[in-house]
Structure 1
Amino acid sequence: MPCETNINVLDPGASPLDYYGFELRRLREAAGLTQRQLGDIINYTGSLVGQIETARKLPTPEFSERVDAALGTDGFLSRLVTLVMRSQLPSWFQQVAELQAQATEICSFETHLLHGLLQTDAYARAVLGALDQTGLGDRTAVRLARQRIFEKAEPPVFWLVLSEAVLHLEIGGPKTMRGQLARLLSFENNPRINVQVLPYSVGAHAGLQGSFDLYRFQSDPTIVYTEGYGSGHPSANPDTVKDCSLRYDHLRAAALSIRDSAELIRRVMEDRYGDRLA
């Protein structure tokens, strides 16, 4: 029998990642499978299974779904991987991810960068790798995992007002931008994900102080979120919430309609990125 990845048994209380690895190993062994045998069933390598069991590799939602199906675990690992992914976020951002997961409505204004909840894999990879390529694959997977909030039985309503500059700031090259703008267009008929573009022609507007998010909840107070370099700033201060809510109303009113925004996105995608080599 091939040698399996096998180190000291993990402490399941050490971290969500350790708990996941501990449970994966327990479930696999209960099914009487080697790492290689499980890997063959789910179309992953036995080595990867071993790395995940020893908390040296981050599991993905897709991996978790396949293991749940193979071992009949009723979605256990798929539920657990959400906690694992959230635990891998920078500590200052973990609270924000939790707010996003609990919100019933998210209103975002972006000045130069597309919101992480709507980024494609290639766009997210280009953003996260701008200065640091370390662990880029895992960091990208962690960011994209946050988008699973839209797969909930009751997903949040998402409103995005983005500056026209976001469409022109070429992140990751023409191919990446084409894919990203196509992703935005895919939400055109989705009433829960609404994209509006604030055109250059608006001039001075209510969001000149920078990007911000509003998180609204079923019964809890609304939260305003702004971000700096390596830090996030959630606030439930009533005056701040009132001010930013008013600003957001004005931004949404000044922006193009959802339909006209889609036409502008489509035009930029074709004119700026359509005929260029990747």
Structure 2
Amino acid sequence: MTHINALDPGASPLDYYGFELRRHREAAGLTQRQLGDILNYTGSLVGQIETARKLPTPEFSERADAALGTDGMFSRLVELVLRSRLPAWFQQVAELEGRATEISTFQTHAIHGLLQTPQYARAVLGVLDDTDLEDRTAVRLARQRILEKGQAAVIWMVISESVLYQEVGGRETMRGQLAHLLAFERIPAVNIQVLPFSAGAHAGMQGSFTLFRFASDAAIVYTEGYGSGHPAANPDTVKDCSLRYDHLQAAALSLRDSAELIRRLMEERYGEQRAFGGDSVA
């Protein structure tokens, strides 16, 4: 077992978080168990976080700030901790998501990570690799905190109709995911459109992509491959993808019709099924 005294607070944001948690706990005269009782967590979990063997969550950090009087330090630090646990090639994307004033994305295979439910994210991340799945899921969901900012980016999302039919995680998970999308229906900063099968050949046939626009910096287009990401600020590339996105939005259903399609599929495809006798079945 790694002893907390062996931690180098400069080694990583996670090590620094654990070092500071122990320092403030001891300054308050509390044992790990006592702090755990105050936070409504186990003392064992406190110890694991202090020894950088467990990721803290935003909720844990908020409670630690309140209990130890650290003026939001852990809540600020946890964002760095979680971002540092993203794959190295994706960390720049998370930074772009945090700075952007507008995010326009086209998705062909899955719901974008910013709008995924925990169950859906877990199912996506668990394909072929379930190691540290809970921590990796928490890291992905932490990106969604940008939606809570006072001046959050405006999000435009066009998703292929096939995404709604791809049963990720089972029927219950999909029903919850579609319900989550509908929860944004009256939020002007999050706009979801469905590109229907009837659109036929379309401007996004080459695959998913995301456009990031900023208050003062040049726009960036981002595409993704297996285990790699490709941000590009080339003006011609950005112009081409911007035009493609305009055409995708024009071919997609309206916001209202998209919501109606999502609602219908949620009930008809992922709602309760009934047996011949009339009783509902799982």
Report the TM-score, using the length of structure 2 for normalisation: 0.96
Match of 1:211 in 2: 208
Q: Does 1:83 align with 2:118?
A: no
Match of 2:7 in 1: 10
Per-residue CA distance 1:134-193 (angstroms, 9 max, x = gap): 000000000000000111121100000000001000000000000000000000000000
* Equivalent position to 1:183, from 175, 180, 185: 180
Match of 1:160 in 2: 157
Mind listing any 5+ residue stretches in structure 2 that lack a counterpart? 274-280
Query: Within 2, Cα distance between the matches of 1:134 and 1:59?
Result: 17
- Report if the CA contact (8 A) 1:27-1:71 is conserved: yes
Match of 1:119 in 2: 116
Query: Within 1, Cα distance between the matches of 2:28 and 2:39?
Result: 14
What is the letter of the counterpart of residue 86 of structure 2?
Answer: L
Query: Within 2, Cα distance between the matches of 1:39 and 1:22?
Result: 16
Q: CA shift at 1:120, angstroms?
A: 0.2
Query: Within 1, Cα distance between the matches of 2:91 and 2:146?
Result: 15
What is the letter of the counterpart of residue 121 of structure 2?
Answer: A
Mind listing any 5+ residue stretches in structure 1 that lack a counterpart? none
Match of 1:202 in 2: 199
Secondary structure of the corresponding residue to residue 30 of structure 2: coil
Match of 1:28 in 2: 25
Per-residue CA distance 1:182-231 (angstroms, 9 max, x = gap): 00000000000000000001101110000000000010000000000000
- Report if the CA contact (8 A) 1:6-1:50 is conserved: no
Match of 1:94 in 2: 91
- Report if the CA contact (8 A) 1:9-1:22 is conserved: no
Secondary structure of the corresponding residue to residue 5 of structure 2: coil
Q: CA shift at 1:30, angstroms?
A: 1.2
Query: Within 2, Cα distance between the matches of 1:244 and 1:190?
Result: 26
Match of 1:147 in 2: 144
Match of 2:66 in 1: 69
Match of 1:254 in 2: 251
Query: Within 1, Cα distance between the matches of 2:51 and 2:109?
Result: 40
Q: Does 1:103 align with 2:100?
A: yes
Q: Does 1:171 align with 2:156?
A: no
Query: Within 1, Cα distance between the matches of 2:210 and 2:91?
Result: 15
Instruction: Give aligned pairs, total.
Output: 275
Match of 1:239 in 2: 236
Per-residue CA distance 1:34-75 (angstroms, 9 max, x = gap): 110000001000000000001010111111011111112111
Q: Does 1:229 align with 2:226?
A: yes
Query: Within 2, Cα distance between the matches of 1:151 and 1:246?
Result: 29
Q: CA shift at 1:7, angstroms?
A: 3.7
Q: CA shift at 1:8, angstroms?
A: 2.5
Larger mean CA deviation between 258-267 and 9-18 belongs to 9-18
What percentage of residue pairs aligned between the two structures are identical? 77
What is the letter of the counterpart of residue 143 of structure 2?
Answer: R
What is the letter of the counterpart of residue 199 of structure 2?
Answer: V
What is the letter of the counterpart of residue 35 of structure 2?
Answer: L
Following TM superposition, the consecutive aligned residue runs of length 4 or more in structure 1 with deviations greater than 4 angstroms are none
Q: CA shift at 1:6, angstroms?
A: 4.6
Per-residue CA distance 1:232-255 (angstroms, 9 max, x = gap): 000000000000000001111111
Report the TM-score, using the length of structure 1 for normalisation: 0.97
Match of 1:275 in 2: 272
CA RMSD of aligned residues (A): 1.2
* Equivalent position to 2:127, from 130, 133, 141: 130
